[in-house]
Homo-oligomer: A and B are copies of this chain.
Amino acid sequence: MKNAIYPTREEDYPEWYQQVIKAADLAEHSPVRGAMVIKPWGFSIWENMQKQLDKMFKELDVQNAYFPLFIPLSFLEKEAKHVEGFATECAVVTHHRLQKNKDGSLVPASKLDEPLIVRPTSEMIIGYHFSKWIQSYRDLPLKINQWANVVRWEMRTRLFLRTSEILWQEGHTAHATDKEADEQAIAILKLYETFVREYLAIPLLIGEKSESEKFPGAEKTYTMEAMMQDKKALQMGTSHFLGQNFAKSCDIQFQDEEGDKKYAWTTSWGVTTRLIGALIMSHSDDDGLVLPPKIAAVQIVILPIMHKEESKDAVLSFCKTLQSELEGLFYHDKKLKVILDDRNMRGGEKNWSWVKKGVPIRLEIGPKDIEESSVMVMKRNTPVKEKQKQTMQAFKETVCDQLDEIQKDLYEKANAQMEQHLVPIEDKEEFYRFFASKNEKKSFCNGFAISYFSLNPELEKLIKEELNVTVRCIPFDFKEDKGECIFTKKPNSPKVIFAKAY
Contact = CB atoms under 8 A, between A and B. Distances in A.
Contacts of A77: 104-106
B37 A68 contact: yes
List the number of copies, as a whole number: 2
Interface string A64-88: 1111111111011100000100011
Nearest to A95: B92
A105 B68 CA distance: 22
A463 B394 CA distance: 73
A91 B117 CA distance: 11
A156 interface: no
A129 interface: yes
A63 B149 CA distance: 20
A18 interface: no
A233 to B, nearest CB: 27
Nearest to A84: B100
A40 interface: yes
A31 B69 contact: no
A287 interface: no
A182 interface: no
A416 interface: no
B98 A31 contact: no
A132 B22 CA distance: 13
A40 B69 contact: no
Nearest to A129: B37
Contacts of A71: 32
Interface in A148-178: 148-149, 151, 153, 165, 167
Contacts of A388: none
A40 B67 contact: no
B106 A68 contact: no
A84 to B, nearest CB: 9
A323 interface: no
A97 B105 contact: no
A296 interface: no
Interface string A89-103: 111111111101000
A363 interface: no
28 contacts: A30-B68, A30-B125, A32-B72, A36-B68, A37-B68, A40-B63, A40-B144, A46-B66, A47-B64, A69-B165, A70-B91, A73-B98, A76-B98, A76-B106, A77-B105, A87-B97, A87-B106, A89-B97, A90-B97, A92-B96, A92-B97, A94-B94, A94-B108, A95-B115, A97-B153, A98-B117, A107-B115, A108-B115
